[in-house]
Structure 1
Amino acid sequence: MLPTGDRVTVLPNGNASIEPAEGREDIGFVTPQAFDGSDELIAVPFDMVDDIEAGLEDPRRYNVTRLLGAGQTDAGAAPASALDDRAYTGLLPDPTGESGTVADEAQKFSVILRDRTGGVPDDSWAMWATRDGSDFGGFAIDADGVGSEAFMPGDYIIVTQFRRAPTDTERGELVLGITPVTVGDGQGQLLVDATTAQPVSAEVERDDAVYVGAPISYGALSRKDESFGLAASAVAEAGSDIYLMPEPDLPEFELSLMYQPTFLSPEGSADPYTYNLALGELDGFPADTEYAFTDDELAQVETHLHDLGAAVRGHTCDYGDFVERQTGIGLCRRVPVAFPSTHTMLYTAEPGISWEHSAKGGIYAEGTQRIVDGFVDDRTGVVYEPGRTERTVVKGPFSAGAPVVARSADEAGGHLIGGLLYPGFSVGGESLAQVGFDGTMSLSRDGRLVSETEGVQRFVMDMPAEPGRYTLAAESVFSGTTSVFAAASSQSWSFDVGEMPEEGYEYLDLPVVSLGIEGAEGGWVDGDEPVEVTLQAMAGAPYAPVEVESMTFEVSYDDGRTWRNVAIERDGGTAAGVLCPPRRAEFVSVRMTAVDTAGTEVAHTTIRSFGLA
């Protein structure tokens, strides 16, 4: 939560959503990209920009990435010791860390901002960079809409954002621009006149669609040096219109625009729908930024949202950007949904646009958007074609997910092992993790226990420094109320480690055997026919297939009291088999083992992997 009460939620796939606090729905946000090109998420409400530039508000309390990295979820209450220790220039960290001095030949240069009425904007932000990327900085915009800096003679690029707030009778406006200037040729000021800007808007076919706002990103990436570029983003809320200043003459840069409006069906609609649009262009600003679409020009995805045995509330969050490279800041609009339900999702359907889908359902920790009992699903790299199609969210079956585990050396010279485990995970056309497991973790070396801890989905334990063969084991029980699947899980890996790398950090590729069944929905499979299963050894993040030397597969129809071996046909790390469940079986539990080509042994059991309908 930001000091203003606005809430920023970072999703498991790295994207994020912003929810204004009550009464702040029309403020909007500046989300500038750091001078050093890092992916840090900085989210500043427009009404806080002036206070930050004036030194009255701490910009470090709006660097979401750094705050979460320090374990802080309430930016206003975070102690000073937990804040970013870098110097800031306005809203952004100073990449040089130097205060700098003004040379005698420096000249005063002013930026003057005027909105579409000719008046001074309510809130403004501007930054600059030398055209060769050797220096960066920001302007402090005063009450007259003017910001001044002392510049050495040379070529510069100036990025601006400013807004006029909406009123009870008039819509607000958000104006964005990039402008090149030359200092030393008699040009001592730049007037950014919003009356020359073109509108950026979108219209959709359905007359009752409700526009709820849009993130928009724009930038200039050097063609000679891809490590240098200027980019900025903002979030326009529903009460404001967006305008873009004319395309600048910057031939040595690749210009980009990404505009991501969202429209929702009216509240309480019997046929809920969402328009998620990703509109823009690489290598130049679009000639026409007033977009209009019929439904037939979009992907119309009838989305079936299943539960796991208990009806829950949740949300979806869909992010679209260019396939070639991401230009946006990764902000998506959270859309409330019910599990189970059917929801029509409409998406920009172009070969150059890729979508990332996130869905959550279950019980949230009080006052947060963090699921503590439920499930989280992520899909990436989805490219749509125009037309009607279907998608299922929450499929199953469930087995162990590939863990993210690393060992490290701490500052005191000790060694640790830690990471993320997924006791209940589905990869059947999804990456869905169940949340709500309790249990214990243990680490053994050469058969002797060396460390153990409570908690399995996130864990850290002491680990000896010595090389050797270790066994990491987890015993988990699903303690939530939202699922009848993955009721219990056992996982173990035996692996070899050598000396700690010089950098003091090493990821451990610990494999699992995933389980796939075509046609699974909500964890259930048709039990009237033989069930064809696919097994795939996987490891890493993101998950990738791995080769194995051996693999076994067993099933139980009585929650693990008795087990039956299943004959499989294996080809490398992939195998297939057929189950013939007893007539009265209700759930199927699974047990897999494998040995990969590095000699790592894995064994895991999932009680109630899927149900038989």
Structure 2
Amino acid sequence: MRITRAIPALAAVTLLLTATPATADPATPSPVDTVTLPGGDRVHLKPDGTYAFTAADGRENIGHRAVRGPGGDLIVTPLDATADPRRYNVSALARAGQPDASAAPESALAAVAEDDGDGTQVTVTIRDRHGKVPDTAYGTLVALDGSVWESFAVDSRGSAVVAVPPGDYVMLADLTDEPEPGRKGEYVTMSKRVTVGTTPLALNPSVVASTPVAAVTQRPGSITEQSMTLRWASDDVRFSNEVTLNGDYRVFALPVTDPALLWAYQPTIAVNGSADLYRLEFHGTGKVPFGMIQPVRDADLAAVTVDYPGFGTPFTGARLCYSRYIRALDIGTCTNERVNLPTKRTEYLSTSPETIHGWGLDLRDGPAWLEYSTPELKYTPGPHSLVLCEGPVGYSVRPFSTGGPDSGPTGMYRKDDLFYFSFEQLDTPDAGTFYISGGNEWESPMNNTMLVLKDGAELNRITGELRWVDTGLEEGSSGRYQVTIDSHPTMSYLGAATAMNLDWSFNSSPSADPEAMVPLAFSAVVLDATGVRGLTADATTDQQITLDYVSQGGGIDATAQTLTLELSYDDGATWTPVALNRNGDKATATVHHPTGAKHVSVRTSATDDLGSAITQTTIRAWLLK
């Protein structure tokens, strides 16, 4: 009998802790946000709670199943998986700081309690829509109070036996029949309430009455990828069964009424020779209806002209993750495909007000990769346009937050005698974000060196990625502190941001409450320039540059006292001051670039009324053509 207790929520691994904390206990693992599964597929845990699945080369058509347990753990299993099931518990591996599931030691794997035979025997027998034993069938029995969670897989006879204590349960299960020549494969998902007593119980769920799940578009096309999710959620427990398949499968669901049940179907359909795409989503609560064929009119969709310009250099075969997240249902999926940069196409999107859209590009060069993600976006029916990556690249300001039940603290703050720093190094003014990772999480291709000084004396030196780091202080120390970061990205496909530097000075003292998280007086200059698309602008067109001195949201507001801008066209060998038209914390300037200039480097400086001072430098903040 397996008794499953609460597991820390998935959000516990989304702090983006990617540099070894200077004060970390060496026995405490530093969580990661990307795990490579046995077989080479990668799962990236995203800050919004969804995940991105990137198939290894040659495995794009395998498909995968994702199960979210009652405690929040995400278990992602390719449909051809053969390794130890514990090596697919992405949440547990991420918490343990294990980016490679195959290499993770036994001690880092999530414990799996064995069925000891106690309790009532439940025999589950599953047949497909044609009365035959399916190729595969999986399921989970979960007690309505979340105290018991028992997973099973049927054997070659189509049966599985588990033992659970008497009580009320819900079962989520699915079956898969693989495609054969001349016949599509079939996937069926189902939910069923189950009451277990003291005598053996036989469950024989019939899927003969299952209903097809599909979308009918105005223009015929072919499915490139489709995801189907069933989630059961109450005040005490939530878990789900999700599958992602290509167009070689037909999807079915067994109709049922259950007020705790949520479902979502999300297909991607290519039309017009793949020049256009339908990216659709349908969802419902309380029941799986008998009719799930969804007709779609173009007029009800957002027609988004998406410009994929690249990042200063062409790139063939970038990995694209398009995500749809239904906030009200906490259901999200990521559709993966290949795209050449630069390119442009029209994508037709569902426009439910509950649905958030996002695009992410993954560029790989050997063991290092760069990921660019758009901000969360919502759309209404009608024409729209979107450029992935508008504006220069540079530092931005993450808001200060003490966190809630589903997230941790963020931003720049002090707690007792510890500083916590949460940097966004490669951001654009349109709220897009670059993340850079290496084959080894602690060998970042950013080549960062961070120094922390107190009254001019070095306290700490930290290398690697710096999205979230901490550093210890002397007990009860007050004084003038300085943080400097010297960065040298080394990815050939990132044509801009060849070097970056931040130099920030501030005052800090211990708080009255040593347990309180007190925001630091951090503000930075966010710079924008007109006409920058994909980190590139027209060299012959005058550009308006905007500076905005921004304090971390939820923290301490500061007012700029001084604000300056310098430009360089020779990678920082010489700098030219730029006259600003300033209005408070904002300033603008119109610049005409010299003939023959190929790139623009920027250096901004500011001081404020809280005694802070900051200088930010980006070599090749954008390119000129």
| TM class, shorter-length | 0.7 to 0.9
Cα distance, 1:594 vs structure 2: 3.6
Partner of 1:145: 158
Aligned counterparts, 1:378-457, within 5 A? 378-402=373-397, 420=423, 422=425, 424-428=426-430, 430-432=432-434, 437-455=446-464, 457=466
Is 1:232 matched with 2:241?
yes
Is 1:310 matched with 2:313?
yes
Partner of 1:282: 285
Identify if the C-alpha distance between structure 1 residues 522 and 189 changes in structure 2 by more than 3 Å, giving closer, same or farther. same
**Which whole-Å CA distance do the structure 2 matches of 1:272 and 1:465 have between them?**
60
Farther-moved stretch of structure 1 (494-503 vs 142-151) = 494-503
Is the partner of 2:98 in helix, strand or coil?
Answer: coil
Q: Is the 8 A contact 1:553 1:593 kept in 2?
A: yes
**Which whole-Å CA distance do the structure 2 matches of 1:387 and 1:257 have between them?**
26
1:218 to 226, 230, 238: 230
Is 1:345 matched with 2:347?
yes
**Which whole-Å CA distance do the structure 2 matches of 1:195 and 1:234 have between them?**
20
Partner of 1:244: 253
Q: Is the 8 A contact 2:486 2:501 kept in 1?
A: yes
Aligned AA for 2:112? A
Cα distance, 1:448 vs structure 2: 1.1
Is 1:34 matched with 2:34?
no
Q: Is the 8 A contact 1:358 1:379 kept in 2?
A: yes
TM-score (norm 2): 0.79
Is 1:181 matched with 2:194?
yes
Aligned counterparts, 1:207-606, within 5 A? 207=220, 209-222=221-234, 225=235, 227-248=236-257, 250-251=258-259, 253=260, 255-264=261-270, 272-313=275-316, 314-328=318-332, 331-361=333-363, 363-366=364-367, 370-371=368-369, 376-402=371-397, 420=423, 422=425, 424-428=426-430, 430-432=432-434, 437-455=446-464, 457=466, 463-466=472-475, 467-468=477-478, 469-499=480-510, 510-525=522-537, 531-538=543-550, 547-550=557-560, 551-559=562-570, 560=572, 561-571=574-584, 574-581=585-592, 584=595, 586=597, 587-595=599-607, 599-606=611-618
**Any idea what the Cα deviations from partners look like across 1:377-414, whole Å, max 9, x if unmatched?**
222331112222221112222332337777899xxx99
Q: Is the 8 A contact 1:437 1:457 kept in 2?
A: no
Is 1:129 matched with 2:142?
yes
Partner of 1:81: 107
Aligned AA for 1:318? Y
Identify if the C-alpha distance between structure 1 residues 483 and 154 changes in structure 2 by more than 3 Å, giving closer, same or farther. closer
Q: Is the 8 A contact 1:216 1:260 kept in 2?
A: yes
Percent of counterpart pairs with the same letter? 24
* Larger relative contact order, structure 1 or 2 (CA cutoff 8 Å, min sep 6): 2
The count of residues paired between Structure 1 and Structure 2 equals: 564
Q: Is the 8 A contact 1:2 1:62 kept in 2?
A: no
Q: Is the 8 A contact 1:538 1:545 kept in 2?
A: no
**Which whole-Å CA distance do the structure 2 matches of 1:529 and 1:445 have between them?**
45
Q: Is the 8 A contact 2:67 2:239 kept in 1?
A: no
Identify if the C-alpha distance between structure 1 residues 300 and 546 changes in structure 2 by more than 3 Å, giving closer, same or farther. farther
Is the partner of 1:388 in helix, strand or coil?
Answer: strand
Cα distance, 1:244 vs structure 2: 0.8
Identify if the C-alpha distance between structure 1 residues 415 and 545 changes in structure 2 by more than 3 Å, giving closer, same or farther. closer
Identify if the C-alpha distance between structure 1 residues 177 and 438 changes in structure 2 by more than 3 Å, giving closer, same or farther. same
Structure 1: 5+ residue stretches without partners: 52-56, 91-98
Q: Is the 8 A contact 2:392 2:622 kept in 1?
A: yes
**Which whole-Å CA distance do the structure 2 matches of 1:2 and 1:183 have between them?**
38
Identify if the C-alpha distance between structure 1 residues 327 and 612 changes in structure 2 by more than 3 Å, giving closer, same or farther. closer
Farther-moved stretch of structure 1 (67-76 vs 548-557) = 67-76
Partner of 1:54: none
Identify if the C-alpha distance between structure 1 residues 228 and 170 changes in structure 2 by more than 3 Å, giving closer, same or farther. same
Aligned AA for 1:535? L
Is 1:45 matched with 2:96?
no
Is the partner of 1:77 in helix, strand or coil?
Answer: coil
Cα distance, 1:199 vs structure 2: 1.0
**Any idea what the Cα deviations from partners look like across 1:11-37, whole Å, max 9, x if unmatched?**
66564333556776665322111121x
Cα distance, 1:265 vs structure 2: 5.5
Cα distance, 1:601 vs structure 2: 3.2
Q: Is the 8 A contact 2:144 2:168 kept in 1?
A: yes
Aligned AA for 1:199? P
**Any idea what the Cα deviations from partners look like across 1:118-139, whole Å, max 9, x if unmatched?**
1222212121223344433334
1:191 to 195, 198, 204: 204
Partner of 2:41: 7
Identify if the C-alpha distance between structure 1 residues 495 and 287 changes in structure 2 by more than 3 Å, giving closer, same or farther. farther
Cα distance, 1:87 vs structure 2: 3.4
Aligned AA for 1:9? V
**Any idea what the Cα deviations from partners look like across 1:138-159, whole Å, max 9, x if unmatched?**
3453432223344554432111
**Which whole-Å CA distance do the structure 2 matches of 1:527 and 1:546 have between them?**
39
**Which whole-Å CA distance do the structure 1 matches of 2:590 and 2:456 have between them?**
35
Aligned counterparts, 1:82-121, within 5 A? 82-84=108-110, 86-88=111-113, 101-102=118-119, 107-121=120-134
**Which whole-Å CA distance do the structure 2 matches of 1:484 and 1:236 have between them?**
35
Q: Is the 8 A contact 2:75 2:88 kept in 1?
A: yes
Cα distance, 1:600 vs structure 2: 4.1
Q: Is the 8 A contact 2:254 2:288 kept in 1?
A: no
**Any idea what the Cα deviations from partners look like across 1:162-219, whole Å, max 9, x if unmatched?**
2222222322221111111233499933221111111112233444x33223221112
Identify if the C-alpha distance between structure 1 residues 544 and 198 changes in structure 2 by more than 3 Å, giving closer, same or farther. farther
TM-score (norm 1): 0.80
**Which whole-Å CA distance do the structure 2 matches of 1:23 and 1:481 have between them?**
24
**Which whole-Å CA distance do the structure 2 matches of 1:88 and 1:575 have between them?**
59
Farther-moved stretch of structure 1 (454-463 vs 599-608) = 454-463
Aligned AA for 2:558? V
Identify if the C-alpha distance between structure 1 residues 74 and 150 changes in structure 2 by more than 3 Å, giving closer, same or farther. closer
**Any idea what the Cα deviations from partners look like across 1:492-547, whole Å, max 9, x if unmatched?**
2223455598779988674322112344223344566653333334466xx78973
Identify if the C-alpha distance between structure 1 residues 46 and 398 changes in structure 2 by more than 3 Å, giving closer, same or farther. closer
Is the partner of 1:32 in helix, strand or coil?
Answer: strand
Aligned AA for 2:224? V
Identify if the C-alpha distance between structure 1 residues 578 and 504 changes in structure 2 by more than 3 Å, giving closer, same or farther. closer
Q: Is the 8 A contact 2:551 2:558 kept in 1?
A: no
**Which whole-Å CA distance do the structure 2 matches of 1:513 and 1:319 have between them?**
30
Cα distance, 1:562 vs structure 2: 2.9
**Which whole-Å CA distance do the structure 2 matches of 1:89 and 1:262 have between them?**
39
**Which whole-Å CA distance do the structure 2 matches of 1:400 and 1:312 have between them?**
24
**Which whole-Å CA distance do the structure 1 matches of 2:360 and 2:89 have between them?**
23
